[in-house]
Amino acid sequence: MSYQSQPAIPVKESRVTLLRNPLLNKGSAFSAEERKAFQLEGLVPAQIESINIQAERCYQQYKEQKTDLDRYIFLRALQDENETLFFHLVADHIADMMPILYTPTVGSACQNYSHLFRKSRGLFIAYPDRDKIGDILKQTEQENIKIIVVTDGERILGLGDLGVGGMGIPIGKLALYTACGGIDPATVLPIVLDVGTNNENLLNDPLYMGWHHKRITGDEYYSFVDRFVQAVMQQWPDVFLHFEDFAQKNALPLLKKYRDQYCCFNDDIQGTSAVALATLYSACKTRKTSIRDQRIIFLGAGSAGCGIAEQIVSAMVAEGLDEATARGQVYMVDRNGLITDDMQDIPDFQKKLAQPLSKLKNWKSQDQGFFLLDVVKQSKATVLIGVSGQKGLFTEEVIKTLASQCEAPFVMPLSNPTSHMEAIPEDILKWTEGKALVATGSPFSPVVINGKSFPIAQCNNAYIFPGIGLGVLAAKATRVTDNMMVAAAYALADTAPAAQNKGNAILPSFDDIEEVSYVIALAVAKAAVKDGVAEQKDETALLALIKGYYWHPEYRAYQLA
């Protein structure tokens, strides 16, 4: 059905006010009737253009930008001017523009946020305004908010505390909710909780746009976040609240506090674990083995790493292992070495993943404790996952040792941005003579070794969270359950070319992301129904609801309200 054939949308704005509204602006695509009705004659060039012609012009301008950061600025400016055209352009070039809109380029944009600032988008809720949160939420002109992405800017990618510069992350995530998951951009809202920053460079920068104050902590912090959550739920009780890039010391406690009360989700914990599980599952199918047979080392034992590990343990148990055996095959290594059950003061989320010291009595180490190379040598690992945020820790010796003990090692340096990766794919494949399967957090072109091309899977949360959001909204889910996340992971794996005998890629192309999102959304919605957290209970109607909910970036006709 043609979008122009749908009923006209009633619009109150006219003249320059209409042209300045990015959700309604069509620029040169306003029809002759609309130009007359909305008093636009003379305010736009005479030629009436299609959105395809507009997008072609924009793509030419995009290609003329000299750097990735310039391309990011160009796209953000287009989004602030005309959202429909922006998303139409992105949809036509999704694989090309994904690294610009999100990792790795968004990291540079966040680091330079206050210096690159052009136009405000979203809401900035600062601690000094804690008594006004409800009023601030009402400042947005959007009434029907369905998804909020919120950050406090403390752990932006692997770059650390960027304060209000973290706003680039909610903006980028929501752009992907729309570009990959079909969420109407009129129903999303990015928010930064400005609780100060401990980044001295920002505090000493006169151009820094956030609250010039050290971060609040403890009860003050949690009380502020709670005020925010309660105000959001009062304003939009059915909203899907997405927490993003909170420091690990706060991320898991916040998720635990709110996940059984509201429809909320932490992408760093749940999204990362789901896409990692999907990638591992797909890799195992490619190698004709199973997850239960893997011995897995994690370098990085924060909330993200432990979240992935817990998902993998659950998958191993689902494949027939008892829980103790499954946990015995997962090794968590952080800056202090292998986490063992004799360590004092380790966080609660690490305790269940600590290896019993009694099991390691025959292990040898070169120092006190067992560090990465020690663990690789003695665990006989088959999988190595990096979520440390530290560059170069997967050394040549580590990778060669892994490959010497395993016929087909699977290496996943997932840290973002690329400047913080544990190793780059080309090195991993050279060191293993092409034996390794490699998946990364950021995009990489295929690597050629001895004339053979090896695709590099991008283990990117953008595969997962847009489809989850679409499924949650279509099913009217009131919670996000563990079963919904597992369903998303296996649905993603089943869309991979390798799973369908259509190639050797262990994850699908982002060019196919709309169909991938449909598959994930349907799996998530069905899991929500089975878990009793969906208001929509007719499973046979779910796919039609999902496709009906999907917003496509095409212009609609307007009529004067």
Sequence letter at residue 509: S
Residue 189: φ, ψ to 5°: -145, 120
Residue numbers in the known binding site are 155, 244-245, 268, 416, 460
User: 176: which residues sit within 8 A by CB, 6+ positions away?
Assistant: 98, 101, 102, 462, 465, 466
Q: Are 265 and 271 in contact (CB under 8 A)?
A: yes
Distance (Å, whole) CA 276 – CA 125? 32
- Write the CA distances from 424 to 97, 298, 417, 441, integer angstroms: 21, 17, 12, 11
Among residues 72, 113, 146, 173, the one annotated as catalytic is 173
Nearest residue to 102 via CA among 244, 303, 255:
244
Q: Residue 151 is inside which H or E element, if any?
A: strand 147-151
DSSP 129: G
Distance (Å, whole) CA 416 – CA 389? 7
Q: Residue 307 is inside which H or E element, if any?
A: helix 303-318
Q: Are 248 and 464 in contact (CB under 8 A)?
A: no
Q: How far is C-alpha 125 from the geometric centre of its chain's CA atoms?
A: 22
Sequence letter at residue 409: P
User: 243: which residues sit within 8 A by CB, 6+ positions away?
Assistant: 150, 151, 251, 254, 255, 264, 265, 266, 267, 268
Distance (Å, whole) CA 537 – CA 59? 43
Question: Is 173 one of the annotated active-site residues of the chain?
Answer: yes
Question: Is 351 one of the annotated active-site residues of the chain?
Answer: no
Residue numbers in the known binding site for a divalent metal cation are 244-245, 268
Residue 445 CB neighbours (<10 A): 10
Which two structure tokens, joined as six digits, stand for 56? 């072609």
Among residues 102, 463, 555, 558, the one annotated as catalytic is 102
Distance (Å, whole) CA 109 – CA 159? 11
Three-class SS of 67-126 = CHHHHHHHHHHHHHHCHHHHHHHHHHCHHHHHHHHCCCHHHHHHHCHHHHCCCCCCEEEE
Sequence letter at residue 550: Y
Residue numbers in the known binding site for (S)-malate are 155, 416, 460
Distance (Å, whole) CA 316 – CA 25? 51
Q: Residue 330 is inside which H or E element, if any?
A: strand 330-334
Nearest residue to 508 via CA among 157, 178, 180, 173:
180
**Which residues participate in catalysis according to the annotation?**
102, 173
